[in-house]
Amino acid sequence: RGGVERGLARPEPRERILVAFSARHGTVAQDGVAGGLSPFATALIEHLPTPGEEIRFIMGRVEDAVIKSTGGAQQPFTYGSLGGEKVYLTPPQTGEKPAAAAPQSSPPQSDVSAAERAWQAINPENKEQLLAIQRRFPDTFYADVAKSRLQEIERREAAARLETLKPQVQPPSNQSGFNLPRPSAPEPKQYHYVWDTRPPDDYLALRSEPTARSGFRIRKMPNGTMLDVFEKRSDGWWRVKDLDSGEVGWAKFRDDRDRSRVWIYCCRSR
């Protein structure tokens, strides 16, 4: 039928599963010469038995072989993640060390996973625990988040200390000598704010409907966006107002895949 795309649909594996396709989603793999094996099958047979080679490096070599044999017309693709543990289809031979991984500019996956688990276990308002995250995982995203959270806590504490140092003014008295109550200044209103969104989507979407399947996205709200909350639904969708733009819509309070992780915190004054 018209408008139907060729090739396989993009998979969405979860829970540390790696799926290897002979061609990227939306494209078609080649069959090879008549009576022979396809380019993908040929590359698998050549590289899968390599002893001491981690599976992700094997699939990278398979990808290179297929691209070369097809002149760039076909590119195998893997989807999903195996975390920080190394997975071998054929263990290293006796006395042989596993192939060394190429130097990385970013922290190893195992460190990132450990940092995420540690972040989920701490109290984000506890300064000692935030300092521990910075010391234990200095080159991760969570160290930057901990630093920002510490700065926010210290700003609040400094404001509280200044408040206690303000001189106490005696309320005015009337002609009869009785002290009259002095109207107190209104407390600054407290607002919720967006926090802990992470790449690749380092923002919280403000949507026209309390669902991601219908309606449309009104705007992207980065970390630090101040929100006025009007309604909190039990399914995690909140009706809010973006104080910067004045736009009202719906935002997701938490990550449904990890209910211990939330995206909207309280409170900040403006």
Q: What is the mean pLDDT of residues 144-166?
A: 87
What pLDDT digit, counting tens, does each position of 7-26 carry? 666 666 666 777 778 877 77
Inter-residue contact 208 to 218 (CB < 8 Å): yes
Q: How far is the C-alpha of 218 from the C-alpha of 22, rounded, in Å?
A: 38
- Judged against a pLDDT cut of 70, whether residue 180 lies above it is answered with no
- Judged against a pLDDT cut of 90, whether residue 182 lies above it is answered with no
Q: What is the mean pLDDT of residues 130-158?
A: 89
Q: How far is the C-alpha of 174 from the C-alpha of 144, rounded, in Å?
A: 56
pLDDT for residue 264: 94
What pLDDT digit, counting tens, does each position of 80-100 carry? 777 777 877 777 766 655 555
90-121 as b/e, with b when 16 or more CB fall inside 10 Å? eeeeeeeeebeeeeeeebeeebbebbbebbee
Q: How far is the C-alpha of 249 from the C-alpha of 162, rounded, in Å?
A: 37
State the pTM of this model. Answer: 0.34
Q: Which of 41-45, 206-210, 265-269 has the largest mean confidence?
A: 206-210
Q: How far is the C-alpha of 217 from the C-alpha of 228, rounded, in Å?
A: 18
pLDDT for residue 32: 77
Backbone angles phi, psi at 96, to 5 degrees: -100, 135
